[in-house]
């Protein structure tokens, strides 16, 4: 998809990857970039920087996503590209409280379900549209020290695959963003953690990788080149891959 003259929504646009996406998409000549975030002040700052529109939205609540989509479609125009990017990190293992599991499930997974539920019927009716869902390399390769994060990101990848295989014939394009460490509020203080093992990217090259993938209409956005090799190694020998992950867990298990 060519982003020129397109109407684009980015959630989590107040900070980090979402902010970089909004600014990069605007530079591609988008007609409108809607910067949605829980943090309206931050969303407004991004919108000011890229000539976009700010909207408050808690993506962990279905009604707020539905209302935001309705508002954008009524006041701005039909959404061409919706980026479900907002996400949170919850560390720990199975002992993490159920409330934390539920909160990260709603924000990292259900927000993608809800966006698709309220947008796909509109998009298919007008012949198509594009969904870019931010998962993580943790959705392909798991996350040492953070079960709620690794599990929800796997679910996000699974949902993106399902959306692509179910609606691709009706003109819905889907891509899923799976970076390792990116400098942002989420990774502040974790610069020497396991996710940074191959280096920490700035958000801008990640946004650039998104533009390129959307232009090519391919599924995986892998800003860190090593991730594909790790996936191939995992598929080739699951047990050997798990042994390697245990080694990482011994070194990094208490250090994300």
Ligand X SMILES: NC(=O)c1ccc[n+]([C@@H]2O[C@H](COP(=O)([O-])OP(=O)(O)OC[C@H]3O[C@@H](n4cnc5c(N)ncnc54)[C@H](O)[C@@H]3O)[C@@H](O)[C@H]2O)c1
Chain residues binding ligand X by CB under 6 A are: 11-12, 14-18, 37-39, 42, 57-60, 85-88, 107, 134, 136, 179, 181-182, 184-187, 195
CA 89, CA 93: separation in Å to the nearest integer?
Answer: 12
Given the complex with ligand X, which of 124 and 211 has the nearer CB atom? Answer: 211
Q: Closest separation between CB of residue 199 and ligand X, Å? A: 11
Q: How far is the CB of 46 from ligand X (least distance, A)?
A: 9
Q: Rounded to an integer, what distance in angstroms lies between the CA atom of residue 92 and that of residue 113?
A: 25
Q: How far is the CB of 124 from ligand X (least distance, A)?
A: 25
Pick between residue 175 and residue 184 the one whose CB is nearest to ligand X. 184
Q: Output the smallest distance, CB 45 to ligand X, in A.
A: 10
Q: Which is nearer to ligand X, 76 or 86 (CB)?
A: 86
**Token code pair at residue 204:** 């801008």
**5 Rama sector, left if φ>0, alpha if ψ -120 to 50, beta otherwise:** left
Nearer to ligand X, 125 or 185 (CB): 185
Least separation in angstroms between residue 5's CB and ligand X is 26
Min dist CB 64 to ligand X, Å, is 8
- ∠ CA(186), CA(191), CA(192), 5° rounding? 135
Between 2 and 41, name the residue whose CB sits nearer to ligand X: 41
Q: How far is CA 123 from the centre of its chain?
A: 20
For β-strands 81-84 and 129-134, DSSP reports them as parallel
Q: Which phi and psi angles does 6 have, rounded to 5°?
A: -95, 155
* Nearer Cβ to ligand X (61/124): 61
| CA pair distance 123, 107, nearest whole angstrom | 23
Residue of 156, 178, 152 lying closest to 231 (CA atoms)? 178
Distance CA 136, CA 177 (A): 6
In sequence order, the β-bridge partners of residue 162 are: none
């Amino acid at each position: 998809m060519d982003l020129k003259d397109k109407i684009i929504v980015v959630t989590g646009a107040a900070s980090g990857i979402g902010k970089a996406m909004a600014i990069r998409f605007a530079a591609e000549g988008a007609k409108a970039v809607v910067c949605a975030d829980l943090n309206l002040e931050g969303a407004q700052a991004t919108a000011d920087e890229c000539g976009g529109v700010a909207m408050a939205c808690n993506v962990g609540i279905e009604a707020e996503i539905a209302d935001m989509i309705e508002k954008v479609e009524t006041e701005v125009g039909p959404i061409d590209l919706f980026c479900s990017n907002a996400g949170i990190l919850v560390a720990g293992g199975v002992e993490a409280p159920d409330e934390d599991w539920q909160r990260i499930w709603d924000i990292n997974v259900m927000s993608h379900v809800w966006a698709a539920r309220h947008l796909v019927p509109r998009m298919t009716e007008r012949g198509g549209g594009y969904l870019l869902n931010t998962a993580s390399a943790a959705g392909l390769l798991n996350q040492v020290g953070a079960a709620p994060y690794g599990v929800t990101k796997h679910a996000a990848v699974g949902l993106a695959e399902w959306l692509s295989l179910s609606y691709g014939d009706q003109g819905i394009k889907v891509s899923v963003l799976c970076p390792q460490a990116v400098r942002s509020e989420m990774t502040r203080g974790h610069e020497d953690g396991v996710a940074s093992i191959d280096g920490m990217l700035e958000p801008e090259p990640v946004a650039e990788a998104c533009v390129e993938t959307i232009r090519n209409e391919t599924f995986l956005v892998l800003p860190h080149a090593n991730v594909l090799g790790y996936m191939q190694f995992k598929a080739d020998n699951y047990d050997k891959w798990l042994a390697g992950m245990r080694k990482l867990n011994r070194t990094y298990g208490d250090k994300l």
